[in-house]
Amino acid sequence: MSQYDFDLFVIGAGSGGVRAACIAASHGASVGICEYSRVGGTCVIRGCVPKKLLSYAAHFAEEFEDAAGYGWTVTDAKFDWPSLIKAKDREIDRLNRVYLDLLEDSGVELFEARGRFLDPHHIQLGDRTVSAERILVAAGGRPWKPDIPGADLAITSDQAFQLEALPERIVMVGGGYIACEFAGIFNGLGSEVTQVYRGPAVLRGFDEDVRTALGREMAVKGIEFRFNTQITAITPVAGAYEVGLDNGEVREADQIMFATGRVPNTAGMCLPDAGVELRADGSIPVDDYSQTNQAHIFAVGDITNRLNLTPVAIHEGQAFADTQFGARPREVDHQFVPSAVFTQPQVGTVGYSEAAARLHYGKLDVYRSEFRPMKHTLGGRPEKTMMKLVVERAGQRVVGLHVVGLDAPEIVQGFAVAVKSGLTKQQFDATIGIHPTAAEELVTMRSPVPG
């Protein structure tokens, strides 16, 4: 009989933790898991799923406008924020139930409590203590706010999904994917949006052509940018707020939202009491098998700050469970992972940016195309799509693929298989496109751009 209560205990019931728990249980392990919030984690409860639902809603304003070009007359179209939030909540409740059922059907015992280490093998769960032979930390991350006067008056993405009313004016602070996505959502639903970012262009770390194309289209849609600017203070005034900027400007808004980054959710977990090393930013360093410096303690997902994407956390969780309990040891390959930004227009990308590819491969052939998608020809919308291929010159392998425009994530998901498989530009060229589609542009670009 084991000296421990569980073969595996998982701290955090988000996507990565739930996958690891269920797979480990399917391999015959006794598994417990704890979660102090709702099962499903950031992505399902307060992240990518509700965000995409709101993004869908925000697109309708343009659809109604464009309908006239296709012979439709749309009258009396009205938007109701509370109705959208109620519908979103019903879907999140359904998904939460799906995750609960996954754990129950897998025989995983759920503890609705915050977990903290007492020692390397014991975890405190409220007024109960459990022990485990192996422990997996999968507690994700949380939003971070800058330390400025009045910061507590602003919301983050956690609260954005539960606002009682749509703000007439909102200041969005940040230039990353969360800031840009919510700026597009609020703008599309009718808010006046000012986006303040300390950098020179949105989406730092993405390909420069992606950054340029997206910033241009967001501005055309009415989002007012303040680049190379930082917020200095927030002050309440007569039912609204004054937002001070370091350029001397003062903006008045009904809501301020910080989307200034996320930090690993390790605070209060007492990981040092288990001998687990932490980085300065609070993240947990792990090896290629998600193992910490303690041989029996592992970590997956955003808390490791490797590649903070939900599908990556799920993949890491399954690889961990298969390695430790399924006798199928395998590492997680974090190269050529596709990602999407559900802005308006959307972004899809896989592989290296042009700048990163030049550092990694040296000489490149770069193919780029900008065009007005067919859907907008009758609707009259000026929005353009940008597509780009980054090809390493010596072997002609496609090492980067970037799309800004309609259905970009859906397009890139399929092409990601080709990029991950190491296909060459010649193999792209040999593939016949589907006409008329936007995606066919990626197999018909023939002339590299100069330079």
Active site positions, annotated: 435
- Cα separations (Å) of 169 from 99, 191, 256? 36, 5, 9
How many residues are recorded in the chain?
451
How far is residue 184's CA from residue 172's CA, in Å, rounded to a whole number?
Answer: 10
How far is residue 399's CA from residue 351's CA, in Å, rounded to a whole number?
Answer: 5
Exposure b/e, 341-364, CB count within 10 A at least 16 = b = bbbbbbbbbbbbbbeebeeebeeb
How far is residue 241's CA from residue 257's CA, in Å, rounded to a whole number?
Answer: 12
- Cα separations (Å) of 127 from 124, 265, 266, 270? 7, 22, 20, 16
User: What are the two backbone dihedrals, phi and then psi, of residue 417, each rounded to the nearest 5 degrees?
Assistant: -60, -40
**Helical pair 81-106 and 15-26, crossing angle rounded to 10 deg:** 20
DSSP secondary structure letters along 164-211: SS--SEEEEE--SHHHHHHHHHHHHHT-EEEEE-SSSSSSTTS-HHHH
